[in-house]
Structure 1
Amino acid sequence: PLEKLMPGAPLPLLLREQELSVVSLTPAALAATSSEGLPAVRTVISGGEALPADVVARWAPGRRLLNTYGPTEATVIATFGEVVADGSVPSIGKPLANVRVYVLDTYGQPVPVGVRGELHIGGVGVARGYAGRPSLTAERFVPDAFSGEEGARLYRTGDVVRWRTDGQLDFVGRIDAQVKVRGFRIELGEVENALRAAPSVKDAVVLAREDAPGDKRLVAYVVGESLDVSALRAHLKQHLPEYMVPAAFVPLEALPLTSNGKVDRKALPAPDASMLRASHAYEAPATPLEEKLAALWSEVLRVPTVGRTDNFFELGGHSLLATQLVARVRAALDVELPLRALFEAPTIAALAEKLQRASTGTRLPPLTRTRTEGPQQLSFAQQRLWFLDQLAPDDASYNLPVALRLLGHLDVEALRRAFEALVARHEALRTTFFEEEGQPFQRIHAPAAWALPVEDLSSLEESTREAETLRLATSEARRAFHLVHGPLLRTVLLRLAEETHVLVVTMHHIVSDGWSMGVLVKELATSYAAFSAGSEPSFAPLPVQYADFALWQRQWLQGETLESQLGYWKRQLAGAPAALELPTDRPRPAVQSRRGATLPVHFPSQLTDSLRSLAQREGATPFMLLLSAFQLLLSRYSGQDDISVGSPIAGRTHAEAESLIGFFVNTLVLRTQVQPQSTFRQLLAQVKATTLAAYEHQHVPFEKLVEVLQ
């Protein structure tokens, strides 16, 4: 009967009845089956998915436990190793005879011991390909550059592994299980392995969930006894950086399984509000003001409920979200809340008390749709880019390019319509610029059909195809825009294979910024999903457009208001050095070349954790702490004690601006006096005060500051 084959109570009975000595089961089946009272079972073979350490602890003692790994494309089993119950994450062993394995980086080169890479499998067991799917075959079965055998191929598994010093392989996770949360790329398998190593955890699965639009969080589903969320967090912080620690932990009696015994990730439930909060108990808001603040925090932080003792920064808040909260407090409560108030009173209870004592202060006028039809004024930032474009018309320095590799079936017409809808929705993307009587203006054009050029490279050899893709994408990114003729958004689609494309999108900075890129990607994805499903996307109407902001800025920042705002910066930057004299290996050029490079730097998780803890103890953000260290470093190298650093700020101080595509970003000059007799704590306190004051005077455009201060 079928129930005899199911894990749980009937399976041990079957093993005893048949006196089986060798069994092969998935880890999920082993986890759901008792290992007691099975003296005949001498060898256990695990395969099909990652083997948790607690399953090893139950099944390995007194018998042989083999952990196997291998995809169907490599004739099922490619590596195996015997594992013991030592508490560590079990390896997937070494390759079988006639199997070759390579751990390669994104450029197809071998990686050193301990470094993550994609597992490639070669040898006689590698399949010929996928029946009737030549493009997918070409993508996954690649030429073997290492064996020296003519015509040999490697199968790209899509699995992330790393070599151990003993020559065995550790399984980390799937490449397609890589997720990006708050800008960090995360291997879900690495988080799961760290969780499974916790003493009380029997098994765990981690997902990146987006249960509310734009609110992506890591959620851990944990099977174990007497689970302590605080202890789990502490355990993970010892082994992982802060950004890889899940926001919520959902305890389960058992992980849901599919019919073939693997974890059914789609059946995992969404976490409830209590799981998403900090580790302390929930305390309900006690007054109507606290209730209003809690609703605003919930909206900004995307947390279902907020208690009166919850800490804004512990719930995921940072200075950018704090700016959004200030905008909402202004609109809802008619109070101008200084940003520093949130740092001084980071809980609902403390902030409500501060608001009750707050004076109205200088309030920002509302951002509304007030402009008339016809040519519009430029914002201060746009005017600066217009001026620079007149000096160097063919300069591509202010291009904002992005190239996205799209895998799988692509509905090209749905993608074209998505861009068309995006441009129709955002006036900035159909704006051009012109000059009249010596003054620049912007002209907003009517919505029109959008063309998405497609360049077919699928007939080229693979190496030639990749090189040509890079050449075309680079050429497109460096091609200058014409501000008068437009358009200031360009798109091109490169077709590499039937199910492989590269989308190249380029915008001019005069109509966009980094925040806008997030708006663009989110709306584009929503529209594409709707059009490809045969429906229309539904967005809430935009309350204002970028030209409304430009007019608002011009009307507000003038007269006494401008002089008051400028007064702070005049005092703050009086006598600041004109340049930072860093010792360099060559003289500073008369004209900036703009040639440069990026060098990624990785800090150990223990260091980042200690930095975050120090910042929190001092009531500062990690940005303030790192800025302090950076300015101290510049002071030591330059021999100067007066250090000014330019830093970008989003500039979206009204809630109405958060959903717009446009050029809002501003530059703040953060000046610090580095005094040798001071402690680092005193330096951090100075930087914190300077940064908060700069946030409160962020409305003065950098362009106006340069003009006034020369």
Structure 2
Amino acid sequence: MPVGAVGELMAEGPIVAREYMVDADKPHAAFPVDVPWRSKVSPSHARFCRTGDLVKYAPDGPILNICRRDGQLKRFIAPSVTALCVEVIVPHGEAPGKKATLVTFIALGEDFQADDDDASNILPSAANRECLISKLGDVERRLSEVLPQHMVPHAFFPLRSLPLTVSGKIDRRELREIAANIPLTQYSGLSLQVTMKRKALTPAEKTLQSLWNQVLSANASNIGSDDNLLDIGGDSLKAMRLSAAAQRAGFNLPVAAIFQTLSLSEMAKRLEAAANAPSHRNHANCGSYQPFSCLAMENEDVDVGEEHVARQISFDPLEIEDAAWASDMQTKMMEASKLPERFAVYYVILDFDRNTGVDTRRLRKACRKVVKHYPALRTLFVYRKGRMLQTVLRSPYVEFDERTFGLGNSIEDETDAYVAQDRLRET
């Protein structure tokens, strides 16, 4: 399959089964004997198994799972659970398509305790929640260790039995209607990891509680120490807003750090550790961004890093103003610029009126001021520990290549010729 195209994942090899052990009469469609295209690759007659998983190749090589071909759900909960259904739900109060969450409906059967006098209450009772927790244990935590956050259900809803349609299939529409009526703020109470909401106690937790309240538009009193940002309405965009709000409040809380510590208490510990860490080169730790702080957060030896970088770029270590790991996009663009065609190298064309004349001395001086003002224009990229590091210099040398073109040539032709020649030079 070409990159990006979706197809079914098949397993091949001598250890692939011939049939289902407990259902030998099941059609052999899952274990095809004759695969027409296989003979074009190799004359081998190894067995095949159709997994039913629809996948595609990512541009960088990994195989990404898209969905099931037949809608089947893999059993990953617990042996004691006999019926379950996972649905994507848009909670009450959220516009459709804006925020969705995974909800797992569990059928407790005879263990389900109903209260006829409180049939209007859509939230599960404490008794049913305790029964659910006893059956599932710490499955939510174990799933979080092996799956990305968007694939982990954080809301578990107990029912006596799963509703069925006339044809005997699970009535997913009714399940979605049940869960959609639950306010978003109540979803944290459906998590298996929350038995009793701990109140924010430390100053850092209370500060973050207030910041979460600003970003999520939630009642601060409903945000506990163990709450997960994604469970109560957070997403990547709100994480960026939280980082900006923290910076305005005088704290350094990068977006990457937010996703590494999603709970309020863990995020508060990260905040306290950053506040108590000694600042680099005796800078006053005033809570605002400090140079090299991104390296310090990853326990990188800043001084050793500076020496290593200085040797690569032939600059004095004191000339290094700041350093941070490059993003994936920066790394890819730098690698593309090293190709013979020098992709991702951009040119800024300033077209002056030649009749009015240009003071090249003043133009050079203006360019130097622009470079001095913007750190991005003083940034070099070097490799360290298999990763690309962006390094900001204090006062780099700015090279000027001044040329005089003939009066009969157009500026477009001269510019195209210069760019074509510049792309051929070694970097």
Fold agreement, TM-score > 0.5: no
* Structure showing the higher strand proportion among its residues: 1
TM-score, length-normalised on structure 1? Answer: 0.27
TM-score, length-normalised on structure 2? Answer: 0.41
